[in-house]
Amino acid sequence: MPILEVLELAKSYGSVVGVEGLTLSVEEGEIFGFLGPNGAGKTTTIRLVMSLLHPDRGSITLFGVPLRGEAASVRQRIGYLPGEFRPYVEMTGVHFLDYMARFRAGAPKLRADLLDRLELAAATLERPIKHLSHGNRQKLGIVQALEHEPDLAVLDEPTLGLDPLMQEAFYDIVRLLRERGKCVFLSSHVLSEVEKVCERVAIIRDGSLVALESIEALKHKCPRRLIVVLDATVSSKAPLLPGARLLAQHGERSEYRVDGDVRAILQELTTCPVRDVILPEPDLEDVFMAYYQDGDA
Amino acid sequence: MISWNYITNIVRQHRLFLLFTFIFVGLFQVLILTFVVGADLLGFVEQFLRQLPSRMQVLFGEQFMAQLSINGAVAFGYNHPLVVAMLIIVAILLPARHIAGEIEAGSLELLFAMPIKRYRIALSLWLVAGGMLLVAVAGGWTGTGCGLLLFPEARGAPILRVIGVGLSLWLLVFTISSYTMLIASHSNEGGKSTLRAAGLTLVFYFMNVAAILWPRVDFLSHFTIFHYHQPQQVMMGEPVLGKNAAVLGALALVCAGLAIRQVSRRDVPG
């Protein structure tokens, strides 16, 4: 059973489209990446899932229960970190965590572990939040979202303001949640972090979904770069390759874009005076750029 | 139905201001009684009032003369612009800050993502605002009580009417708090909600003054909330409290109901 199912979701702000016809589902125990640049509709989607906004059309199902109205009881199983985490700044860190935790049933069983992993010391938590750095506030946000070990964690740009070490600590936390069978819906525009921790990703553009697949499948579909280094003593003319488009040539080095199967190309290359062939593994950035530069992959 | 966690947090945030208001309103009542009991001002005030234009005499004359009695002084303490203004500040700031202000600050987003129905938050806010205003009015009752104990001449003041006049003031400010909540429930900015609610309150106030000054527009008095707070009449034993309480109470309930509905249904922008 999908933990989260979104069907034909639409939300507009006057004439501005927030999301349009969005359909996706997140399975149990999955770390799901939600990618898109600022303004693509990620935060609108998340706010719709959290019932902070009401959809114009479409439906959302959480844990098999159609989301109608507020569905406060369903939120017992959800942890939420907004894209712009703005807590009660007059409170101390520990007071804020206690206050939020009291709205939930049960003890915040992961708090000590999360504080330890994110290196939030007791002395830091005793200070008013307004005196905390942006990074420490973000850590506080992560702790309040995850301390009750939610079945679904909805995290909007969770590593914003975290230093690289803390980002790694956060990825470990996400992996820990996966090991425990929890589901994470991770919105980000940092492609490397999505690639590190997510199994599947959805890419959203102008409020519409343009891709929804496993990272491996996306990479496979993505146009790849092929670099051919010619033996200049024989020929310096870039060969014509089937299914490949020449992008640039710098001396003996030619760069192609390959949209389909590479086997025919490799076969063709065996007949050319080639010194080296470089076929880099596409990363998520290539996939992302392909969707955003070309319109579709 | 309500959230004690939320209520406790609101009280904790405003406890110092609430204590200040309690003491301020209380001391004011003691001061008023001290003023009336400690000096023979009747002749002086009569002379002074004769110097005023006739319309001003209408506005202030009857009230002032009545206030120079013990009952009048007690009533005056619950109708003095300073006391009313102080309580109106509490009445407006609480809902404006905790609905529109928190939407603006982003903290309400976190609260609405918790497993608690929004109407419980809104209802709790309405009730805690009412409770805090009642505590502030209780400061007045405490002050009046202290004044009556301090000045044996004042002991004739009927306690039930003192309580009634305090309740009348409480209903007035609770109504203001309720319509502020309705205004804030439609807004995303605390400052704007505060200004709108304060503006509406000022309009009501000036409508009341106009209705007193100009008989031609005295029909306006029925449409202003200040007309339904009549401490002099309550202290003089006139049976106005029931009707006034019904009007203000109904208005407060309708505004709160609409505000709670709006808070439950509205979008919370980022």
Q: Is residue B111 part of a domain?
A: yes
Partners of B260 on chain A (C-beta within 8 Å) are: none
Q: Is residue B251 part of a domain?
A: yes
Q: What are B136-179's pLDDT values in tens digits?
A: 999 999 999 998 888 877 777 788 888 999 999 999 999 999 99
Cβ burial of A171 (10 Å; 0-12, 13-18, 19+) is: middle
Number of domains in chain B: 1
Structural domains of chain A in order of their starting residue, each with its CATH number: 4-215 (3.40.50.300), 224-281 (no CATH)
Percent of chain B exceeding pLDDT 90 equals 66
Task: Tell me the per-residue pLDDT of B14-33, one tens digit each, with 9 for 90 and over.
Answer: 999 999 999 999 999 998 88
Contacts of B267 in chain A (CB under 8 A): 52-54
Least Cα separation, residue A8 to chain B (angstroms): 19
Token readout for B191 is 């400052």
Is residue B55, in this structure, part of any structural domain at all?
A: no
State the maximum Cα–Cα separation within chain B, in Å, rounded to a whole number: 66
Which chain B residue has its CA at the smallest distance from A156's CA?
Answer: B270
Span of A180-184, B38-42, B117-121 with lowest mean pLDDT: B38-42
**Residue B49 falls within a domain, yes or no?**
no
Give the DSSP letter string of A142-210.
Answer: HHHHHTT--SEEEEESTTTT--HHHHHHHHHHHHHHHHTT-EEEEEES-HHHHHHH-SEEEEEETTEEE
Print pLDDT tens along chain A (297 aa).
Answer: 899 999 999 999 988 999 999 999 999 999 999 988 888 899 999 999 999 999 999 999 999 989 887 678 899 999 999 999 999 999 999 999 999 999 998 889 999 999 999 999 999 999 999 999 999 999 999 999 999 999 999 999 999 989 999 999 999 999 999 999 999 999 987 877 888 899 899 999 889 998 898 888 877 777 788 899 988 777 778 888 888 888 888 888 899 988 777 888 888 888 888 889 998 877 667 777 777 665 544
Residue-level pLDDT at B55: 65
Across the interface, of A54, A76, A87, the residue whose CB is closest to B110 is A87
- CA A265, CA A263: separation in Å to the nearest integer? 5
- Residue numbers in A near B112 (CB within 8 A): 50-52
Contact A72 B117 (CB under 8 A): yes
Interface pTM (ipTM) of the complex? 0.85
Nearest Cα of chain A lies from the Cα of B81 at a distance, in angstroms, of 32
Report the chain B residue with the minimal C-alpha distance to residue A73.
Answer: B115
List the one residue out of A281, A290, A265, A295 whose CA is nearest residue A254.
Answer: A265
List CB contacts (< 8 A) between A152 and chain B. none
Q: Which domain holds residue B17?
A: 4-38+70-265
Q: Do B270 and A47 touch (CB under 8 A)?
A: yes
Supply the pLDDT for residue A297.
41
Average pLDDT of chain B to the nearest whole number:
89
Q: What are phi and psi of A20, to 5 degrees?
A: -145, 120
Separation in Å, CA of A140 to nearest CA in chain B: 13
Q: Does B107 touch chain A (CB under 8 A)?
A: yes
* Structural domain includes residue B63: no
**Is residue B65 a part of any domain in this protein?**
no
A82 lies within 8 A of chain B by CB = yes
Is B60 contained in some domain? no
- Interface size A-B, in CB pairs within 8 Å, comes to 66
Residue B53 lies in a domain: no
**Average pLDDT score over residue span B197-218:** 93
What residues in B contact A50, CB-CB < 8 Å? 112-113
B1 — contact with chain A (CB < 8 Å)?
no
Q: Which site among B5, B114, B262 would you substitute to test the A interface, given the most A Cβ atoms closer than 10 Å to its Cβ?
A: B114
pLDDT of the residue at A54: 93
Contact between chains at A82 and B109 (C-beta distance less than 8 A): yes
Q: Closest Cα partner for B243 from B219, B265, B266, B227?
A: B227
